[in-house]
Amino acid sequence: MSAAAGRGSGGSSGSGGSSGSGGSSGETSAGASNAGGAGASNGAGAGGAVAGGGNAAPPDIPRSALTSSLDDAQTRALCDWYASLFGGYGHVSNCGMGMVVVPDQDTCVLTVFPHFCKTATVGQYEDCAFSGVPSNGCNLTDECRRLSCP
């Protein structure tokens, strides 16, 4: 699958993720940011594979919302957006002594958000993600350290 192609099932309300529209089930869509995804009531899609962009707009979730209070669709939309910044699900960033990869949406949901401090906000997560773009996700930035409890 090319970096700009993805599979997803389109939602009946909202578009699949930060940009692009939800495709029909099994349809392969192409786009610079997010292709496919199940639509959510707030327009933030979930479930679609995404392709790299580095500057895709985050989903429409208030920056002040606590990551610990997000529903499943919101968490999945943030995972899709995050993956879109770094080449999409399955993209490998070689980081000298190791590598960074977000294999799929379920892995993101199960491994990323549960480790944040209960007071971490969506805005802090977005700042963390954007701060990692220059290093292709390889450097742990101050913005990302703020997501963890002291």
Nearest in space to 16 (alpha carbons), one of 83, 109, 93, 65: 83
pLDDT of residue 97: 82
SS3 142: helix
- Whether this model's pTM surpasses 0.85: no
Residues 33-62 pLDDT 10s: 333 333 333 333 333 433 445 668 999 999
β-strand pairing of 92-94 with 28-30: unpaired
pLDDT of residue 96: 85
Residues 77-128 pLDDT 10s: 999 999 999 999 999 999 988 888 889 999 999 999 888 999 999 999 999 9
- Crossing angle of helices 122-132 and 72-85, in 10° steps, is 20
Separation between Cα atoms, residue 32 and residue 21, nearest integer Å: 12
The better pLDDT of the pair 8, 112 is held by: 112
pLDDT of residue 20: 36
Lowest model confidence (mean pLDDT) among 3-7, 119-123, 134-138 = 3-7
pLDDT of residue 53: 53
pLDDT of residue 135: 92
